[in-house]
Amino acid sequence: MKAILISAVLLAGMAFPGAVRAQDPKIPADTEVKTTPSGLSYCVLTAGKGTEHPKIGDEVVVRYSGWLASNGKLFDSTTKHPGGQPARFMLGRVVEGWNEGLQLMTKGARFKLMIPAKLGYGSRGAGADIPPDSDLIFEVELVDFVKGEAILERPTLDPSRTVTLPSGIKYQVVKPGEGATPGPKDMRVVNFSAWGKSNGSLMTCAQFQKGRRTSLTAVGGDFDFLKDLAPKLKKGTQLWVELPGKLLPRPGPDILWNLECEEVVPFGAPKDAKTTKTDSGLEITILAEGKGESPKPTSTVTCHYTGWLESGKVFDSSVPRGEPTSFPLNGVIKGWTEGLQHLKPGGVAVLRIPGDLAYGARGRPPVIPPNATLIFRIELLKVK
């Protein structure tokens, strides 16, 4: 969750030569230098075209060279790599000086960026090339950029609207959401971004994980330290959150979270639904019938699913990933092989699978204990 090293990530596994025209860290004498409130200084060497600027989450294409401000030593450049292609990366995944500076540019612009250490690699430095507390100079040409999915903005909590939970978590309701409040074991599918409270830097977000959302219930989820907020989330709810660093698995600085609940997946079957128990002990509750032919034991199926332990802990789900899963029906646990044969494409069911039809005495450490009963909600999309 740190700003990512340019030479390690922007360049890893790719060839980026490029043609940054100037190989000199000096600022041209006749060029106006501007300084932003953060301390970033920059000057325009070549004006860009148009009025659109890249934003955090966009993929940018750049040519660049970087020098140590202290001695003018060139430590990185796209001109040093074979292949003729510029660098490509998601804005937001590099040091703060780059994140800020590139948002000032338009396509075709060429800037000099003077990045103080606090907006670069700070007291940690970056390997042998960038010593601790180094100010940096970059010459950057913004070749192109492609719009990405918008990242949730950095929260700015209003103390007059903030509620503090017993755990010390503070939150503010930005959007109340709609409908009834989900049950404690219902899975909330949450878009998110997390920002350093002290430095305002983007630490992580769904878009850094290829758009994967996080799952959250009142008994835990991907981010267990946020579970106290699950009762506050229903579909459409947006919260701004201040999380004390002491609640993290590894205590650290306080973090600001922007959470938006996009979907809720109910736990178990409705009380008034008809449940059938088979001779094997599998319990099946059909919620939607579907149409067409049911799969056979050798069929390949495509489905969306969510799996819970009886405690309400979600251990796996395709829904936050945004992509269904395909697999041969004879290559999964017995409860799935049997249960899905009762569905048709478009059908939805809840399966309550006893341990002997799931992972048995071995379990699936560390996620699924031995002999655990599993509850799945499954939507069968396709049979092949």
Q: Which residues are catalytic?
A: 305, 315-316, 333, 359, 376
Taking the CA of residue 148 as centre, how many other CA atoms within 13 Å lie in the half-sphere pointing to its CB?
Answer: 23
Strands 255-265 and 214-217: unpaired
Q: Tokens 């969510």 sit at which residue?
A: 306
- Angstrom distance (rounded) from CA 85 to CA 275: 59
Pairwise CA distance, residues 7 & 36, whole Å: 25
Residue 143 near residue 62 (C-beta atoms within 8 A):
yes
Q: Is 156 exposed, middle or buried (0-12, 13-18, 19+ CB in 10 A)?
A: exposed
- The tally of CA atoms less than 13 A away on the side-chain side of residue 117 is 14
Quote the distance between the C-alpha of residue 94 and its chain's center.
15
Region of 356 (left: φ > 0; alpha: ψ -120 to 50; beta: rest) is alpha
For residues 312 and 185, is the Cβ–Cβ distance under 8 A? yes
Q: 357 in helix, strand or coil?
A: helix
Give residue 329's identity as a one-letter amino acid code. Answer: L
Closest CA to 117 of 95, 101, 99: 95
Cis ω for the linkage preceding 366 (within 30 of 0): yes
Question: How many residues belong to the chain?
Answer: 384
DSSP 130-175: B-TT--EEEEEEEEEEE--PPPPPPP---GGG-EE-TTS-EEEEEE
State the Cα–Cα distance between residues 384 and 375, nearest whole angstrom. 25
